[in-house]
Structure 1
Amino acid sequence: MEPAIVTAAAYGVETAVEGGVAAYYLSKSTLPLKGHLEHVTTTDRLSRYGHTLSVISDRAYVFGGSEDPNSQSLTNDVLELHVSTDENTTTAVLRSIPAVGDGEQNTASVPLARTYHSATVARNRFFVFGGSEKPSDSPKPLEENGRVWVFDPLSSKWTFLDPPPDTTFPFARTKHVSTSSPDGSVIFVYGGLSSDQVRLNDLWAFYLDEGKWSRLPDPPGPPTSGINLTCGQGKLWRLGYSDDSEKSTGSIPRGQIDFLEYPTGGTLDDVSKDLAQGHMNDLKSNIQWETLDFNTSKPSEVPSPRESAALHFITTGNGRDYLLLALGSDDKEEFSDIWIYQLPSAQYSGAKMKDVVREKLPGVDSHRGEWSRLQISGIEVGADEEKGGAWTSRRYFGSSMTGTKQLMIWGGLGPRNETLGDGWRIIID
């Protein structure tokens, strides 16, 4: 056979193989995702609800919260969990860190004990805002005039950041949420309950370098009970529900994903003055909220509306990004499910190019804008199962990301209103 013919034939086989491989990967579904759970206990039981969990490196920090729904006892100690990376170890070493300020002994300020506050991680520290001194059903928030508390794990000491005089800052609040930008320059605080037990729908940004607050445009629609917020793709993401009967599917409220794109390396316009002057529809802002609907004719294909759930941004690489929603409750039941929402793929990414091709292929779906339950392949509880290693529904728990596609939860109230004292790692395979 002529060499040219052999070369052409070999090229044809190689092209066919490459085409087959490409077709295989293009046909691989991006939903549902698979994952597994790892149970985590402690050397001493750590029962908490209404607390926060902040993971920094291989340490998890529990702050605030209450041990018992019938108790008024709170502590301002930080509880450190050393979470081993050894998959064969499910017990975390517990250490209690008393509240100490970074200053002269007995004069430096430390945060009061609190519950129903928020905490988020940035710059290898965690930042606490708001909360209440009493774990009641209608908690009265602490009035701290916009102060943000900062805990540094290296020194095991507290400092605080106060906004400059004559600047705006958020109302005191409880049961709100917070998140931080990936570069650690901004902390965002959203929603919650005011001192009059009014549901809030305001969004604030605290710039760590400037040390000041700016109010951002409110998310669309009225305040909702199931507040949540997470950050990724240069956007803030919020899962919302509408009770508008014209927009609902049967008895299921219409669900939507709202997002707000923010610039990197800069600050956003403060809309406080516009809102104070009643300019609700004429805000002088360089950003606006946008909405992704996830209406469906099958209510079983979307998560039920819920409060006290965890919402996190996860990525599996090459621009393939998702939102993860876990646990929570409504006024009738607690949930133990975990849901995944596939976000539009990041611009100029490998995932984006694949989706463009997928949408042109017959029988292949990109799954963009769809929900799916996380397929849990196994629950690993190790030797600590007798300590309560059962995956169960819970609310008022703490959660924090431990990687780009894994997170940790701790504590909360269980289905019998009992205070839980264990944790779980949720790992996307």
Structure 2
Amino acid sequence: MTKATWTRIAAPDLTRSSQSVSVVGPHVYIFGGEIQPREPVDNAVHVVDIATGAYNKIDADSAPTPRVGHTAAVIGNTIYVFSGRGGPEMTPIDEGGAVHAFDTSTKTWQTLTPADPSAPYPAARSYHCSTATPTAVIVHAGCGDAATGRLNDVWSFSPATRAWTKLPDAPGAPRGGATIAHAAGKLYRFGGFNGTTEVGGAIDVLALDAGEWSSLVFGEQEGLSREAVGDLTKGAAAGPGHRSVSGLHSVGDDKLVLLFGEGKPSITGGHDAAGNFWDDVWAYSPATDTWSEVEAGQGPAARGWFASDS
């Protein structure tokens, strides 16, 4: 079993869910989220010093509108935010493919609209997932509007050219609440909620240069539904249990870490009522295609609908 240690950052409580968390240098940047269901809390950037816990709030001009269920990814010193849910009707925020860039050096926002407004771009969505390569932001899946429903597409956005490129759709059912990470030229995906059940039992891999998906299957890929009776049980020894709204992160190029998530949907199938959450952490080795549960001692309480970064 892999071993690790949790360390609590001595920062003030900042209660919310469905927010984004971005690590840039020695600081954590928190944006968006909700306290009451479907009520975005603010559009400030909340900054925490990882070492000391010192806190600062940035109310910057030209900030994106308040939102929940958006994503944020980091390239260099800049945080890139895409879509989410907000407005009076709490629908997916359609901004014509625009990406909001927060420069942590100047503490300013800039809206990057597509250079070619006639070119295709991803549909507005919430509870999607994103990650970044050294030059591009990658967006996957999520919940669109009534017309698009749940999604399974993959898009890449270049901040340098302000252009979107559609990548091959991911395998399996469309879903919200999946999680992705980038390592060594590959995109890794785990989990999600397909509208009926939690998803798991496989980690899907997109080789970005070849444009081809493959899957390491280690168990049944459909998990618990909201009508299921009973509590969460550990998945097969070969890997983590089914889950959505979890976190997946690369640690160097030789390891991925998966943590927490919702293992049984809430009775409403949404984030306005709690489901059953995992409190475990798993490590995945791309070199050997193997999972190992992480022994980390006392750590955060079980949770889903949270935000994390590495």
State the partner residue of 1:115: 68
1:294 aligns with 2:212: no
1:369 aligns with 2:289: yes
TM-score, with structure 2 as normaliser: 0.84
Amino acid in structure 1 at the alignment position of 2:118:
D
1:303 aligns with 2:247: no
Structure-2 separation of matches of 1:63 and 1:174: 15
Query: Displacement, 1:202?
Result: 0.5
Query: Displacement, 1:224?
Result: 3.2
State the partner residue of 1:131: 84
State the partner residue of 2:225: none
Inter-CA distance 290–133: structure 2 relative to 1 (3 Å threshold): same
Aligned counterparts, 1:316-355, within 5 A: 321-329=254-262, 330-331=264-265, 333-344=276-287
Q: Which has the higher helix share?
A: 1
Structure-2 separation of matches of 1:396 and 1:73: 14
SS at match of 2:92: coil
State the Cα deviation string for residues 112-154 of structure 1 (Å, max 9, x = none).
Answer: 0111100011021100000111699xx4111101000000111
Amino acid in structure 2 at the alignment position of 1:371:
W
Query: Displacement, 1:173?
Result: 0.3
Q: Is the Cα contact below 8 Å between 1:261 and 1:288 reproduced in 2?
A: yes
Structure-2 separation of matches of 1:396 and 1:121: 20
Query: Displacement, 1:394?
Result: 1.1
State the partner residue of 1:187: 137
Inter-CA distance 371–51: structure 2 relative to 1 (3 Å threshold): same
Query: Displacement, 1:34?
Result: 1.0
2:50 to 83, 107, 126: 83
Q: Is the Cα contact below 8 Å between 2:142 and 2:175 reproduced in 1?
A: no
Aligned counterparts, 1:133-172, within 5 A: 133=86, 139-163=90-114, 164-172=116-124
State the partner residue of 2:22: 54
Q: Is the Cα contact below 8 Å between 2:177 and 2:193 reproduced in 1?
A: no
SS at match of 2:48: strand
RMSD value, Cα: 2.5
State the partner residue of 2:4: 35
Structure-1 separation of matches of 2:132 and 2:283: 21
Aligned counterparts, 1:238-257, within 5 A: 238-240=189-191, 255-257=201-203
State the partner residue of 1:412: none
Q: Which structure's CA Rg is the greater one? A: 1
1:99 aligns with 2:60: yes
Q: Which runs of 5+ in 2 are unaligned?
A: 221-234, 266-274
Query: Displacement, 1:47?
Result: 0.9
State the Cα deviation string for residues 225-265 of structure 1 (Å, max 9, x = none).
Answer: 4411110021111125899xxxxxxx9977222211123xx
Structure-2 separation of matches of 1:218 and 1:337: 29
Query: Displacement, 1:295?
Result: 4.0
Q: Which has the higher strand share?
A: 2
State the Cα deviation string for residues 276-312 of structure 1 (Å, max 9, x = none).
Answer: xxxxxxxxxx52212222249x724421111110011
1:177 to 129, 138, 147: 129
Structure-2 separation of matches of 1:61 and 1:242: 27
Structure-1 separation of matches of 2:201 and 2:43: 38
2:307 to 367, 388, 398: 398
Structure-2 separation of matches of 1:262 and 1:253: 23
Inter-CA distance 82–114: structure 2 relative to 1 (3 Å threshold): same
Amino acid in structure 1 at the alignment position of 2:117:
P
Q: Is the Cα contact below 8 Å between 2:128 and 2:177 reproduced in 1?
A: no
Inter-CA distance 325–291: structure 2 relative to 1 (3 Å threshold): same
Large movers: runs of 4+ above 3 Å: 240-243, 251-254
Q: Which runs of 5+ in 1 are unaligned?
A: 1-31, 85-90, 102-109, 244-250, 264-285, 345-367, 380-389, 402-429
Residues 142-151 or 232-241, more deviating: 232-241
Inter-CA distance 216–61: structure 2 relative to 1 (3 Å threshold): same
TM-score, with structure 1 as normaliser: 0.61
State, as a whole percentage, how many aligned pairs show the same letter. Answer: 30
Structure-1 separation of matches of 2:124 and 2:74: 21
Structure-1 separation of matches of 2:192 and 2:65: 34
Q: Is the Cα contact below 8 Å between 1:176 and 1:193 reproduced in 2?
A: yes
Query: Displacement, 1:193?
Result: 0.3
Structure-1 separation of matches of 2:29 and 2:193: 35
Q: Is the Cα contact below 8 Å between 2:218 and 2:238 reproduced in 1?
A: no
Say how many residue pairs are matched: 282
